[in-house]
């Protein structure tokens, strides 16, 4: 059959590193092995029943069988504004400072195409969420990586970015609580970020996907809580993690009016809008008492404690994450991150994500997701204890 050559734009896209991991895990499962999969980032709990019931009722409403407004229902944007006021004390104009998204990933990939011209510079965390790279590639931007190192609490050190790069930079991605390291940001760091943004005219995009998941009694802070943050950029929030709504594909961007306007304009040409019933369910979630969210966070913290303490008990030197639902584990001497991930899958039938898949500075680590039961996490520790590594 005749094959049509794909565009140069598609050729520029980065390879989806984790597709190979999924393939490896699937092979072991098909061969009958009991694989404990800690390599995924997909929430394992169901969406709360009250949100599902809201969707079911809304799906019966004939108005939701029609196209919804291009930029989403005003009631959803009002719910977002109320949510941010209640949770973070941040005032938002629902019409000009909120954009409805088809999940957080969509916004993260769209933003570079909204703000960049070819060869514009983008500051990207390393290690970081791989789809930041996808959006930059689609916009033909040039990336400068910001190392996230343990010695700086996995925060970028702005003093190490040259003045020439800062003058060229148009966009910066940040993500706290962080995927993959589990680190959280401080008020001082966000204040420094705002000052840098305003000095060099860099739009900050803070990926707040894990905003609800903080441990040890510390609630993760929103970038928009920082004075001047609305002038500096936007924050992207998804309901995927907070409410276990990963498959529902609903999120939002909030903050700087000009950036929100650009996002809305771009999306006008891609979509009509989210299914109205999903928007109504999102309103129900954002307007809830948050008891379910608190229960979920408590569950992740308990899993973290069980897993980290278990690893320490078998002699591993590990640090507990302060947010997200990931643990960032150092690779023993003698292995690359990919070799170690393959070793664990082959010898212990435990799947983890190699750090190199998140960037050059992810080498030397693997990411383990706390997305299975405490019993399975303890079983993983038991399997690891039988290996001759620390």
Give 328-343 pLDDT, tens digit per residue: 999 999 999 999 999 9
- Res 80: pLDDT: 98
Where do the structural domains in the chain lie, given as residue ranges? 8-46+291-385, 49-286
- Give 352's pLDDT tier (boundaries 50, 70, 90): very high
Average pLDDT over residues 234-255: 96
Average pLDDT over residues 84-111: 96
Say whether pLDDT at 389 is over 80.
no
Cβ neighbours of residue 346 closer than 8 Å, sequence gap 6 or more:
none
- Res 123: pLDDT: 98
Say whether pLDDT at 153 is over 80.
yes
- Res 288: pLDDT: 92
- Res 14: pLDDT: 85
Give 25-72 pLDDT, tens digit per residue: 899 989 999 999 999 888 889 999 999 999 999 999 999 999 899 999
Give 249-283 pLDDT, tens digit per residue: 999 999 999 999 999 999 999 988 899 999 999 99
- Per-residue buried b or exposed e for 20-41, using 16+ beta carbons within 10 Å of the residue's own CB: ebeebbeebeeeeeebbbbbbb
Average pLDDT over residues 223-231: 98
Average pLDDT over residues 106-110: 96
Average pLDDT over residues 136-152: 96
Work out the mean pLDDT of the chain and round it to a whole number. Answer: 95
As a CATH number, domain 8-46+291-385 is 3.90.1150.10
- Per-residue buried b or exposed e for 343-374, using 16+ beta carbons within 10 Å of the residue's own CB: bbbeebbbbbbbbbbbbebbbbbbbbbbbbee
Which tokens is 272 given?
Answer: 């009509």
- Give 114's pLDDT tier (boundaries 50, 70, 90): very high
- Res 390: pLDDT: 58
- Res 388: pLDDT: 78
- Res 246: pLDDT: 92
Give 367-376 pLDDT, tens digit per residue: 999 999 999 9
d(CA 45, CA 242): 11
Give 175-211 pLDDT, tens digit per residue: 999 999 999 999 999 999 999 999 999 999 999 999 9
Q: What percent of the chain has pLDDT over 70?
A: 100
What does the CA dihedral 235, 240, 246, 248 come to, rounded to 10 degrees?
-80
Closest CA to 166 of 189, 186, 187, 144: 144
Q: What's the number of CA atoms in the CB half-sphere (13 Å) around residue 329? A: 29
Say whether pLDDT at 20 is over 80.
no
- Res 25: pLDDT: 87
Say whether pLDDT at 217 is over 70.
yes
Residue by residue, DSSP assigns 289-344 as -SHHHHHHHHHHHHHHHHHHHHHHHTT------SBSSEEEEEPPTT--HHHHHHHH
CA distances from 8 to 16, 136, 220 (A): 17, 14, 40
d(CA 61, CA 77): 20
- Give 220's pLDDT tier (boundaries 50, 70, 90): very high
| The listed CATH number (3.40.50.150, 3.40.1010.10, 3.40.640.10, 3.30.390.50) that belongs to domain 49-286 | 3.40.640.10
Report whether 198 contacts 231 (CB < 8 A).
Answer: yes
């Amino acid at each position: 059959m005749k094959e049509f050559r794909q565009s140069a734009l598609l050729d520029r896209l980065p390879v989806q590193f984790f597709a190979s991991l999924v393939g490896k895990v699937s092979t072991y499962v098909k061969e009958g092995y009991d694989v404990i999969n800690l390599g995924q980032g997909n929430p394992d709990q169901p969406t709360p029943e009250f949100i599902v019931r809201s969707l079911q009722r809304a799906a019966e409403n004939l108005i939701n069988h029609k196209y919804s407004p291009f930029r989403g229902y005003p009631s959803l944007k009002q719910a977002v504004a109320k949510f941010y006021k209640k949770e973070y004390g941040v005032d938002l104009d629902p019409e000009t400072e909120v954009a409805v998204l088809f999940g957080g990933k969509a916004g993260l990939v769209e933003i570079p195409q909204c703000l960049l011209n070819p060869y514009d510079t983008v500051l990207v965390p390393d290690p970081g969420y791989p789809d930041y790279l996808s959006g930059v590639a689609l916009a033909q931007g040039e990336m400068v990586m910001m190392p996230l190192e343990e010695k700086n609490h996995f925060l970028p050190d702005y003093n190490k970015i040259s003045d020439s790069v800062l003058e060229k930079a148009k966009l910066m991605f940040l993500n706290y609580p962080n995927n993959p390291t589990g680190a959280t940001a401080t008020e001082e760091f966000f204040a420094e970020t705002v000052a840098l943004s305003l000095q060099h005219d860099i739009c900050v995009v803070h990926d707040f996907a894990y905003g609800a998941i903080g441990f040890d009694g510390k609630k993760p802070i929103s970038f928009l809580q920082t004075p001047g943050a609305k002038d500096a950029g936007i924050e992207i929030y998804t309901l995927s993690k907070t409410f276990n709504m990963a498959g529902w594909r609903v999120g939002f961007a909030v903050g700087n009016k000009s950036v929100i306007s650009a996002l809305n304009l771009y999306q006008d040409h891609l979509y009509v809008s989210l299914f109205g019933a999903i928007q109504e369910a999102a309103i129900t979630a954002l307007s809830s008492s948050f008891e379910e969210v608190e229960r979920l966070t408590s569950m992740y913290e308990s899993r973290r404690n069980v897993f980290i303490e278990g690893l320490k008990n078998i002699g591993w030197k590990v640090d507990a994450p302060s947010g997200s639902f990931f643990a960032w584990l150092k690779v023993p001497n003698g292995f690359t991150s990919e070799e170690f991930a393959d070793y664990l899958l082959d010898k212990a039938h435990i799947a983890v994500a190699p750090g190199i898949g998140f960037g050059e500075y992810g080498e030397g680590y693997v990411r383990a997701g706390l997305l299975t039961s405490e019993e399975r996490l303890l079983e993983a520790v038991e399997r690891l204890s039988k290996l001759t590594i620390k």
